[in-house]
Structure 1
């Protein structure tokens, strides 16, 4: 596995410090984010999953704790929209340039508005997908928000 991805290159180019956390990816895991947290011995609420969604038909990126579900109502409100829904996996892969299970908010093919759940601020370091299956990157919540121009808001159900 390479530790150099579009995501890690984007972070490096932006001058954002991060630590790579490779782990054994299990494609059969029922919840990939939880499997990643367990593999790395981290609390699930510190390992964030990256999801692609649509608000009023426009793509957005959502980063939430791996043990939580996104509230579509809160997601729509975060982007001043009326409705939100999850993006189809094939559309998410085409838009981001990453494979499902390896989608990162950093270094996406096309930049889209991003929101990170506000609970990220409870930690000095959060782990977020590094752009490929089996690779997370650890960085401060402030740096994650800076790198993605994200807003930190309540997103979980």
Structure 2
């Protein structure tokens, strides 16, 4: 089973497969995804991949949020270290530009940043650089098995 099939299988288990969107152009970056989907950048739920002592973890955050190194260190008890390019598909099971909180390799933990909670729906990637899923934060939590945390800085208003 490839990574997109794993994503779809996970969504199907939560009765969310109809929310899967295959799009005509790239969603590989926050700005491209927002343009393709037709929403504001902050509604794009970007999935950031990190290497920790517990293994690979992903943090899903609103499109304009940035990881706050102090908050990350306070929560994980270690410095934030992004996965290197070649490590992303190897450790997460998804390509760069398509890392999703669904269909991850076994053992990859999902954390959802509080920056997503202000929206009625957000768009996380779904395993490829041209797809997404439209979900409420509660649906994202249930389908991903993610744990809520606060490790990001918010953009200045």
Same fold (TM over 0.5): yes
Unaligned runs of 5+ in 1: none
Pair 1:153–1:139, CA change in 2 (3 A): same
Pair 1:78–1:144, CA change in 2 (3 A): farther
| TM-score under structure 2 length normalisation | 0.83
Q: What is residue 22 of structure 2 aligned with on the other side?
A: 22
| TM-score under structure 1 length normalisation | 0.83
- Once superposed, which parts of structure 1, at least 4 consecutive aligned residues long, lie more than 3 Å away? 14-18
Cα separation, 2, equivalents of 1:136 and 1:59: 22
Q: CA RMSD in A?
A: 2.0
Q: What is residue 79 of structure 2 aligned with on the other side?
A: 83
8 A Cα contact 1:103 1:131, kept in partner: yes
Deviates more, 1:86-95 or 1:50-59: 50-59
| Matched residue count | 149
Deviates more, 1:58-67 or 1:8-17: 8-17
Cα separation, 1, equivalents of 2:39 and 2:11: 22
Unaligned runs of 5+ in 2: none
